[in-house]
Chain A
Amino acid sequence: MGPACSDGNVRGQFAPLSFHSFMTWNLLVIQALNGLQYGVLLFLLAAGLTLVLGVMNFVNLTHGALYMVGAYLAATALTHSNSFLLAAVAAVFGTLVIGVVMEWAALRNFYRRGHLDQVLATFGLILFFNEAVRMIWGPAPVYMRTPEWLSGTVNLFGFDYPSYRFLVIGVGLGTAVGMYLLIHHTRIGMLIRAGATNAQMVSILGVNIRMLNTLLFGLGAAMAGLSGLMAAPLFAVQPGMGDNVLIAVIVVIVIGGIGSVRGAFYGALLVGVVDTVGRVYLPLLLRQVAERTIADAAGPALASMLIYVFMAIVLAVRPQGLFSARR
């Protein structure tokens, strides 16, 4: 299991770092872009999950597992078909189907139960998915290559940045706009907003809330699959890869406010940038104030705790999150 998968895209690529490059403009921009790209990836996951948590009041821990399944489906489809588009279809529709089946067969029984039972049920499903993936694809990581037409770099203001990462940022921002339009300018979006405020009232008004729930769950699952697809060429695709991302997504949602897509967006970008930039600059900053040996030991440790401390501070000030959907 790779616990540090969140920084997998930062390390190695732009190393080595020295004090000399500490304040380099290039490095800062590249790290900011990396942070943005990581944040956007977190948003893709958080947007789907926060709707399920907020609107359905359902603690869905399987979101990370669906992300993992999406990544595996994408990697497999790309190897066999050599088409990134087909990989995208496989990832998004595969997870959509799995999500809807899972909701229909098991999870809808838990909507009326307490959070504890929901945690337990989805925890069991995570164990199942992690092990099932290990059985099918083996314990070793699978690597998905970047499609050829995206493997180049884009020259921006005099330095190169991989075009695939630009695509990730683009897809994420596009999804954000799409989500905004869906939620604020469609009938389904109106029902979702109404459901977040008072689900019982919505069902009394004659809306098929079961249908709406299945739809929402499927939408969340498909978005998890989409983020799995976008993440697959960036990280090692391996069993359990969703677990650590899930925790980061949870931090995002807690910071943004449960149920708020807007909160998920700003929370994801904040966490993405704070985490990425913190991992690079905190050890360097520490060297300015402490002995090199101490700084080298404490730097990575502190950097890995940074987003949680950030979360704790936000909670201490605003327990309901920065953009709470509920009053």
Chain B
Amino acid sequence: MSFPEPISPRSPRFLVGVVILLVLALVPQISDAIGESYYVTIVTRILIFGLAASSLNLILGYGGLVSFGHALYLGIGAYAVGLLSFYGVSNGWIHLAATVGLCAIVSLLTGLVCMRTSGMGFIMITLAFAQMFFFLGVSLKQYGGDDGLKISSRSNFEPLFSIEGNTGLYYFSLILTLGVLYLTWRFVNARFGRVLRGSKSNIQRLKVLGFPILRFQVLTYVISGCVCGVAGLLLGNFTKFASPAYMYWTVSGDLIVMVILGGIATVMGPLVGAAVYVVLETILSSYTQHWMVILGPMILVIALTATRGVWGLFPRGEAPNWEKRTP
């Protein structure tokens, strides 16, 4: 794996990236033109899961810590919208603040405990914590329990903009996702990101160099959790529903598959992976209700073969000069 992620403006990877972004910007218009509003909802779904997978990629791809419990933050985001709406608070900014605040607290507390272990222990503890919140959601009967909580109307961001319509929600998701992708790119190339990636390849050396690695890892976990919470807020608004099922451990597994499928530790990879995964699900489930019998072995094959992911298939070309000069 190359250390920074330099991309030449003339490389296939760069060009494909530009085309993807252009198409994404025009999805509502295109689907209007062909009269299939269904496509907008599918791409919104892709964006939301792409955002969640990108957040996971921070800790999993760049930090090298296998979090098997990221669905937890999807759930917190959705429930932040659901519970606030339940009590009559419809202001979107308050929803956003509550989501980020809650995710920060939960991820800081669980992160500090999880980081006590590493490797296999970390995987299992993140899984256990996510499942704990799943059971919490199930046992809260006054908020729907097992059945989930219906959200009567979407977060209210008026007068600035509105996400009540599907197009509004689409562009809101798009802007947030692109913003996070840009910040991810800045993040991994900043000093902080370099230290984090260094800790993935040789944590001992970085510790000897005097970096307080634990602080870097916990902070990345918190950032990752908060971003995933925002994806959860979008998911809650998208489905108008907050359900414990969002926190179920298979969702965490899905997110990991997306990251690997798209290309681990690349900026665009998780979004591409989410797109492939959602499209795959949609196609398979249209053939048979037992599509998971096919998807399961496919995931096994992906784990066996797809080390670089779909995004890694596109050559990244020669690094531009300004990248080479950086030490």
Contacts and interface: CB of A to CB of B under 8 A. Distances in A.
A300 interface: yes
A258 B125 CA distance: 12
B113 A315 contact: yes
- Chain A interface size, as a band, is 35 or more
Most chain A beta carbons < 10 A, residue from B113, B128, B141, B260: B128
B121 A258 contact: yes
Contact of B123 (A119, A243, A319): A119
Contact of B128 (A109, A127, A131, A251): A251
A55 interface: no
Interface stretch (B268-276, B298-306, B317-325): B298-306
Given A3-B138, A251-B128, A311-B125, A115 B297 contact: no
A116 B292 contact: no
What range describes how many residues of B lie at the interface? 35 or more
Contact of A53 (B120, B257, B293): B120
A236 interface: no
A53 B134 CA distance: 25
Interface string A1-39: 001100000000000000000000000000000000000
Contact of A128 (B131, B257, B292): B292
Interface in B79-135: 113, 116-117, 119-121, 123-125, 127-129, 131-132, 134-135
A281 B234 CA distance: 39
Interface stretch (B177-185, B207-215, B222-230, B248-256): B248-256
A315 B110 CA distance: 11
Interface of B: 60, 66, 68, 113, 116-117, 119-121, 123-125, 127-129, 131-132, 134-136, 138-142, 146, 244, 249-250, 253, 256-257, 260, 264, 290-293, 295-300, 302-304
Interface in A81-140: 106, 109-110, 113, 115-121, 123-132, 134-135
What secondary structure prevails in chain B residues at the interface with A? helix
Nearest to A244: B131
A308 interface: yes
B129 to A, nearest CB: 7
B300 A121 contact: yes
A184 B136 CA distance: 41
A301 B125 contact: no
Interface string A152-190: 000000000000000000000000000000000000000
A126 B303 CA distance: 14
A253 interface: yes
Interface string A296-316: 010011011100110110011
B136 to A, nearest CB: 6
A280 interface: no
Nearest to B252: A123
Task: List the 3 closest A-B pairs by CB distance, nearest first.
Answer: A124-B299, A128-B296, A127-B296
Contacts of B123: 59, 115, 119
B121 A254 contact: yes
26 contacts: A3-B146, A59-B120, A59-B123, A106-B304, A109-B304, A115-B66, A116-B256, A116-B260, A117-B304, A120-B256, A123-B256, A124-B297, A127-B250, A127-B295, A127-B296, A131-B290, A131-B291, A244-B131, A247-B249, A297-B140, A300-B139, A305-B136, A308-B128, A308-B132, A312-B113, A315-B113
Most buried by B among A116, A129, A247, A305: A116
B117 A315 contact: yes
Contacts of A131: 290-293, 296
B116 A116 contact: no
A229 interface: no
Given A116-B260, A305-B136, A258 B299 contact: no
Contacts of B300: 106, 120-121, 124-125, 128
A119 B296 contact: no
B199 to A, nearest CB: 15
Nearest to B122: A115
A123 B128 contact: no
